[in-house]
Amino acid sequence: MMILNDANYYEKQWEFLSASQYKGFISCEAKAFAELTGEIPKENTEAFLVGNYVHSAFESEEAHEKFKQDHEKEMLTKKGKLRAAFVGAEEMVQRLRQDAFFNNLYQGEKEVIITGNLHGEEWKGKIDCLNVEQGYFVDIKTTADIHKKIWSESRRVWTPFVEAYGYYEQMAIYKYLLEKKYEKEFTPYIIAVSKQTPCDLEAIEIRAELLIVALNNVKENIERVSTVKNGEEKPRMCGKCDYCRGHKQLTGFVSSEELIS
């Protein structure tokens, strides 16, 4: 069994499935596959960097300094001023640092790599904060608005961002891998911080049933994801994402009503 560490964690994309890779294939197979093969670069968007800025701040002083050095170019304007998004990121860090509930909860090992088998596949995950002794783990999520309602086309209901962005699945996968490894129960928590000014904070728990449903969703989808990833089946285009827009070719007419369905 291959051992993952900080140096090779992000390289081993073919050997392991990750929650974010899984989510990528669920939202658009063609885009996820193109990212894997290197046809398109993995998105290093500002939102992604803001998230990492906040994460590294709570990992360790060294990790945070290294992040700031490595991404100086992306964080500064041409005039050498900190970009607005990172001024916001620093505010998020300060808010969390001052919050007693958060500090009390965020105790344990940081950025812990976990691997294991789930539904016949080898998975990998990186847990923001793991407290083995007390049986819980915490993930920090930065998001535009914690209370935003997001429409789910498949379920025809409004959903919270934690559901819309596939965090139930992610938490359920981590919980499963941890429980198998340590042979004890683990509870996932999400600390959400918004990008608003001033930023909003929330400590979120997820009802057990929702995690069970999420793990079942993974089970239902895993065969398809795995065959597409392994090249046994052609990836389907979702037709809606930036990748699909960029690779679109007309093949016929659609009715005007179809445009919004």
Chain residues binding Zn ion by CB under 5 A are 28, 31, 238, 241, 243-244
Q: How far is the CB of 43 from Zn ion (least distance, A)?
A: 13
Name which of 31 and 229 has its Cβ closer to Zn ion: 31
Q: Are 55 and 48 in contact (CB under 8 A)?
A: no
Query: Nearest residue to Zn ion, using CB?
Result: 28
Exposure string of 117-154, with b = 16+ CB inside 10 Å and e = fewer, is: ebbebebbbbbbbbbeeeebbbbbbbbeebeeeeeeee
Residue placing its CB nearer to Zn ion in the complex, 31 or 119: 31
Q: CA nearest 194: which of 137, 129, 128, 147? A: 147
Whichever of 25 and 243 has its CB closer to Zn ion, that residue is: 243
Residue (113 or 241) nearer to Zn ion, CB: 241
Question: For 99-105, which contacts have Cβ atoms below 8 Å and span 24 or more sequence positions?
Answer: 99/201, 101/203, 102/191, 102/201, 102/203, 105/138, 105/189, 105/191, 105/203
Question: Smallest distance, Å, CB 241 to Zn ion?
Answer: 3
Find all residues with CB under 8 Å of 156, minimum gap 6, and list them.
none
> Dihedral sign, CA of 94, 95, 98, 104?
negative
- Nearest to Zn ion of 71, 224 (CB atom): 224
Cβ closer to Zn ion: 12 or 224? 224
Task: Give the sign of the dihedral formed by CA 7, CA 10, CA 11, CA 13.
Answer: positive
CB 26 within 8 A of CB 221: yes
Tell the smallest beta-carbon distance from residue 35 to Zn ion (Å): 11
CB of 253 to Zn ion, least distance (A): 21
Least separation in angstroms between residue 246's CB and Zn ion is 9
The nearest distance, CB 33 to Zn ion, in angstroms, is 10
Complex with Zn ion: residue 68 or 236, whichever CB lies closer: 236
Partnered with residue 121 across adjacent β-strands are: 118
Query: Shortest distance, CB of residue 40 to Zn ion, whole angstroms?
Result: 11
> Do 185 and 132 form a contact (C-beta atoms < 8 A)?
no
